[in-house]
Structure 1
Amino acid sequence: MARSPPGGTVNFVTKQPLSDPYYFIEETAGNFNFYRGEIDLSGPVDESGRVLYRLNASYRDQEFFTDFSETRNLVVAPVISIELGENTNLTVEGAYKSLYQDDYNLGLPATGTIFSNPNGDIPRDRITNEGELGVSATRIGYRLEHRFNENWSFNNTFRYGYVNYDGGGINIGTELLPDNRTLLRTFNDLQDQYYDYRFVTNILGRFSTGSIDHQLLFGVDLGRLDNSLSFTGKSGAPIDLFDPIYGQPPGEITSEIDSNTVTDELGFLVQDQIRITDNLNLLLQRFSLM
Structure 2
Amino acid sequence: MAAPPPGGVVALNSKRPEFEQGGELRFRVGNNNQRSAAFDLTGPTGEEQRVAFRLTGIASAADTQFGPAEEERYAIAPRLTWDITDDTSLTVEAYLQDEPEGGYHSGVPYEGAVVAHNGRKISNNFYDGEEDYDTYERTQRMFGYSLEHRFNDQVTGRQLMRYLNSDVVLNQVYGFGWVSPESNELTRYYSGSDESLEAWTLDNQLEANISSGFMDHTLLFGMDYQQRENDVSWPTGYFPPINAFNPVYGSAPIEFYAPIRERHEIDQTGVYLQDQIALDNWRFTLGGRYDWVNIDNANRDSGDTSSLSDTQFSGRAGVVYLFDNGVAPYLSYSTAFTPTSFVDEGGDLLKPMEGEQWEIGVKYQPNGSQNQYSAALFHIGQENVATKEQPTDPYRAVGRSNPKG
Moved more, 61-70 or 150-159: 61-70
Q: Deviations over 1:138-176 (max 9, x none)?
A: 2221000111111121111101123333112x1121243
- Does the CA-based 8 Å contact 1:103-1:127 persist in structure 2? no
Partner residue in 1 for 2:92: 92
Q: How does 1:69-218 map to 2 (within 5 A)?
A: 69-101=69-101, 104=104, 106-109=106-109, 113=113, 114-117=115-118, 122-130=122-130, 131-168=134-171, 170-178=172-180, 180-218=183-221
C-alpha distance in 2 between matches for 1:8 and 1:159: 22
What residue identity is the alignment partner of 2:217? Answer: H
- Structure 1 residues 41 and 98, CA, compared in 2 at 3 Å: closer, same or farther? same
Report the CA distance shift for 1:207/1:177 in structure 2 as closer, same or farther (over 3 A): closer
Q: Give the drift of 1:10.
A: 7.4
Relative to the length of structure 2, the TM-score reads 0.63
> Is 1:33 the counterpart of 2:33 in the alignment?
yes
Tell me whether 1:237 sits opposite 2:240 in the alignment: yes
State which drifts further: 243-252 or 197-206: 243-252
Q: Is the 8 A contact 2:108 2:176 kept in 1?
A: no
**Matched-pair contact (CA < 8 Å) for 1:42–1:55:** yes
1:64 corresponds to 2:64: yes
Q: Does 1:220 align with 2:223?
A: yes
Following superposition, the deviation at residue 9 of structure 1 comes to 5.0
1:283–1:116 Cα change, 3 Å: closer
Aligned letter for 2:41?
L
Unaligned 5+ segments in structure 1 are none
Distance 1:8 1:221, change over 3 A: farther
Q: Match of 1:271, SS?
A: strand
Structure 1 CA distance, aligned partners of 2:103 and 2:17?
39
CA deviations over 1:82-105 (Å, ceiling 9, x no partner):
111121100012222223446726
Alpha-carbon shift at residue 76 of structure 1 (Å): 1.5
Residue 48 of structure 1 aligns with which residue? Answer: 48
**Alpha-carbon distance in structure 2 between the residues aligned to 1:123 and 1:150:** 62
**Cα gap change, 1:33 to 1:215, in 2 (>3 Å):** closer
**Offset at residue 55 of structure 1 (A):** 1.1
* Cα offset, 1:110, TM superposition: 5.2
**Where does the alignment leave 5 or more consecutive residues of structure 2 unmatched?**
293-405
Q: Is the 8 A contact 1:111 1:117 kept in 2?
A: no
Provide runs of 4+ in structure 1 moved above 6 Å. Answer: none
What CA RMSD, in Å, does the superposition of the two structures yield over aligned residues? 2.7
Residue 247 of structure 1 is matched in structure 2 by 250
Distance of 1:283 and 1:110 partners within structure 2: 42
Secondary structure of residue in 1 paired with 2:84: strand
Identity of aligned residues (%): 27
- How many Å separate the matches in 2 of 1:60 and 1:216? 42
What's the secondary structure of 1:129's corresponding residue?
A: coil
